[in-house]
Structure 1
Amino acid sequence: MLTRDQIAERVARDVPTGSYVNLGIGQPTRVAAFLRPEQQVVLHTENGMLGMGPEAVGDEIDPDLVNAGKVPVTELPGASYFHHADSFAMMRGGHLDVCVLGAFQVSTAGDLANWHTGEPDAIPAVGGAMDLAIGAKDVFVMMALFAKDGAPKLVQQCSYPLTGLACVSRIYTDHALFHLTERGVILAETFGISEDELRKRIDVPLLAPEDET
């Protein structure tokens, strides 16, 4: 199975050249560390920055330069800053090619649940996720495939409050990579688990890669 950094590297590899991309709070921010200069990807953060670089370390840290998750980041040549409202206008206006988000659950229809578990004592944290999920042209999800109790997070229908409907196009997990299409869920790759075992543990129909073409 893949580590979190290996998942992030796998996501970075699939980001199209020249894309404008938003990386969600938490695990998705690691993708920035694996983007290659030749990809010419421009990173956007909803607190008002375009041209964000990887996470800042050591002497690079500037307490006034953070991403939406309050993590210190670097800036790349040509970086720009703007009002929070302008940043959300970019998100809602369909100007982002890809956003990468975490999730509690994703349904086979591409529905996303990532802001609240519905538990009475849980702290909701929607942030800009709803705007990103609906505004971005492609939504990539990074998550562990199974919850701590072993329940799969890829489900027929989400039981948690929804963030967006039919918005997820790919799911990157520690055990497998899935493409969500109009015909169903494509099992693109597996990591450290056999296809047969995966099908037994996930109660959703999985199509073979050749069904994508």
Structure 2
Amino acid sequence: MTPLNRRQMAWRAAQDLHEGNFVNLGIGIPTLAANFVPKTREVIFHSENGVLGLGGAPKPGHEDPNLIDAGKNLTTLVTGGVYVHHADAFLMIRGGHLDVSLLGAFEVSEKGDLANWTTEDDEFPPGVGGAMDLAVGAKAIRVIMEHVDKKGQPRIKFNCSYPLTAAGVVKRIYTNYAVIDVTPSGLSVVEMIPGMTLEKLQTMTEPPLRLANDYKDLAPPAEAA
């Protein structure tokens, strides 16, 4: 059983973005998703530092040091993409103009509570950025994160132990082992990697899990490796 790597997790999240969606990509793994949207599908990526029409990572030799995303990664601009004032970028968020926000997280609760701005560790200063605005401004919040922390403890919990970014906002979670929906009746496992079982996944997850009626295996293509 081989867990998904960061690129594969981003690939899986990108497949759920629909034609014409306006999407914000959070710092970390979510920024990779722009590289994996199907070529036949137009998705408009937004970055709160002032870009609408964010592209994928630049090819070697074509980097522009002045073009970065919210995570300070070098990026590209699609044809028709624009630069906007920082304030206008946040107006797009606060005005409800984003269909989806893909965010990283430290923890998510069974109710969809999101904790992604601080671990209260003095060695790692908090960085809320635009996360609180995105959590309440985007129409759908989806999270990409490792299923357990570095100590092997669950990140999907009954209740978040870290300070919340927002309560009850997360609708789907992408991890290195599974895709899980947050529903009114509990956590529903939509997909798992080959070799994973619900029983094994449950040992790494605090709240109870159940298989979705349309459950299937999660198998990324080779180009996402």
What is the TM-score of this pair, normalised by structure 1?
A: 0.95
Higher mean alpha-carbon deviation, 73-82 vs 199-208, is at 199-208
Give the SS at the match of 1:179: strand
Question: Of 23, 29, 32, which aligns to 1:30?
Answer: 32
Per the alignment, residue 207 of structure 1 pairs with 210
1:70 to 2:72 alignment = yes
Q: Is the 8 A contact 2:111 2:182 kept in 1?
A: yes
Q: Is the 1:186–1:211 contact (alpha carbons within 8 Å) kept by the matching residues of 2?
A: no
Aligned to 2:174: 172
Distance 1:73 1:122 in 2: 26
Q: Which has the higher helix share?
A: 1
Separation in structure 1 between the aligned mates of residue 125 and residue 47 of structure 2, nearest angstrom: 22
- Aligned with residue 196 of structure 2, among 177, 181, 193: 193
> Which residue of 2 is the match for residue 160 of structure 1?
162
- Secondary structure of 1:39's counterpart equals coil
How do residues 132-171 of structure 1 correspond to structure 2 at under 5 angstroms? Answer: 132-171=134-173
Partner Cα distance (2:102, 2:27) in 1: 9
Distance 1:72 1:150 in 2: 32
| Equivalences for residues 8-27 of structure 1 within 5 A | 8-27=10-29
Q: C-alpha offsets along residues 140-176 of structure 1, whole Å, 9 cap, x if unaligned?
A: 1110001111110000100001111111110000011
Structure 2 CA distance for partners of 1:58 and 1:179, relative to 1, 3 Å? same
Which residue matches 1:50?
52
Write the distance in 1 (CA, Å) between the matches of 2:123 and 2:8. 32
The SS at the match of 1:169 is: strand
User: Amino acid of the residue matched to residue 201 of structure 1?
Assistant: M
Corresponding residue for residue 85 of structure 2 = 83
- Retained in 2: the 8 A contact 1:60–1:74? no
Identity across matched positions, percent: 46
- 1:60 counterpart SS class: coil
Rounded Cα–Cα distance in structure 1 between residues aligned with 2:205 and 2:46: 34
1:211 positional shift: 9.0
Q: Which amino acid aligns with 2:197?
A: S
Q: Which runs of 4+ in 1 moved over 3 A?
A: none
SS of structure 2 residue aligned to 1:58? coil
* Long gaps (5+) in structure 2: 216-225
Q: Which moved more, 1:164-173 or 1:30-39?
A: 30-39
For the aligned residue pairs, the C-alpha RMSD in angstroms reads 1.4
Aligned equivalents of 1:177 and 1:144: distance in 2? Answer: 11
Q: Secondary structure at the match of 2:161?
A: coil
Q: Which deviates the most, 96-105 or 187-196?
A: 187-196
5+ residue gaps, structure 1: none
Contact 2:198 2:211 in 1 (8 A): no
Indicate the SS of the match to 1:38: coil
Aligned length: 212
What displacement does 1:58 show?
A: 2.1
For 2:115, the aligned partner's letter is A
